[in-house]
Amino acid sequence: MVLEKSFNLRLAEPPERLLQPERVFAGKPPFGELTRTDTTLQGYLVAEAPLFGEIHFPFQSRIHPQGIAARLEALRLPDPPAFWAELEGHGEVVEEGLVYQLTLRIHATLPQGEKWGGRALGRLAEAAFERNVERVLERLTQG
């Protein structure tokens, strides 16, 4: 299963934080631990899913500075686990702070049931998981 969500964020942050997403998004759901080494941002997203509990979605992105803007390129993990994410987009400095247009792709390999009941349960879990991700992103975009 792959869920893709695009969203915009407007944050009252100083211009120098444009190239410091590990500080801008620290402590804001759905972001867990974030670290940056040179232009590589690594971290994980956290989501709750029925039947699975709290799941961590590791991701890795590269920051490409472009003057008063920056592009975030999603990098594929070398050995992706069953649950992982891609984060990409664009950020820029504006008068009020920083504006980001981001796309989040969540990859989840859910076990498939062999009988109709197991498949139905899998579809229910998928739908509930997607609703949870949408709620978390809505909270993030509302500050």
Count of CB atoms within 10 A of residue 63's CB? 20
| 3-state SS class at 32 | strand
Angle value at C-alpha 135, between 28 and 42, nearest 5 degrees: 40
**Structure-model confidence comparison of residues 50 and 83, the more confident one:** 83
Query: Where in the sequence is the domain holding 62, given as residue range(s)?
Result: 2-141
Q: What stretches of the chain show up as alpha helix (H) in DSSP?
A: 21-24, 116-141
Q: Alpha-carbon distance 51 to 143, whole Å?
A: 29
Write the pLDDT tens digit of every residue in 31-77. Answer: 899 999 999 999 998 887 766 778 899 999 999 999 999 999 999 99
- Nearest Cα neighbor of 103 from 90, 113, 119, 116 is 90
Let me know if 114 is exposed, middle or buried by CB neighbors in 10 A (0-12, 13-18, 19+): exposed
Q: What is the pTM of this model?
A: 0.83
How large a percentage of the chain has pLDDT more than 90?
50
Q: Indicate the number of domains in the chain.
A: 1
> Which CATH number does the domain housing residue 21 bear?
3.30.530.70
For residue range 132-141, what is the model confidence (pLDDT) as tens digits?
Answer: 777 766 776 6
3 state DSSP class of 38: coil
Which pair of structure tokens corresponds to residue 93? 């400095």
**Residue closest to 24 by CA, chosen among 84, 91, 74:** 91
